[in-house]
Amino acid sequence: MGSLSVWHWLIVLAVVVVLFGTGKLRNLGADLGGAVRGFKEGIKEGSSAPER
């Protein structure tokens, strides 16, 4: 008890897809990808700025 097998994760994934639908999950993935991309660009811009 305490560890989840692959079958447990597949059941959880199936329940999430049924509850939210694939369209909402696709939008969530796109939003998350955009947030990560923006964070990386912000880090890159912040590190290239000269410090005073």
Indicate whether this model's pTM tops 0.85: no
Domain range for 37: 22-47
Q: Is residue 35 situated within a structural domain?
A: yes
Of residues 1, 29, 2, 5, the one with CA closest to residue 16: 29
Residues of the chain where predicted confidence (pLDDT) is lower than 70: 1-2, 48-52
Residue 3 confidence (pLDDT): 81
Residue 7 falls within a domain, yes or no?
Answer: no
13 located within any domain = no
Residue 16 inside a domain? The answer is no
**Cβ-Cβ contacts under 8 Å for 28 (sequence gap 6 or more):** 20
User: How many distinct structural domains can be found in the chain?
Assistant: 1
Tokens of 33: 């990808």
Q: Domain for residue 28, yes or no?
A: yes
Residue 10 located in a structural domain: no
What pLDDT score was predicted for residue 22?
81
- Is 52 among the domain residues? no
Residues 6+ apart with CB under 8 A from 17: 25
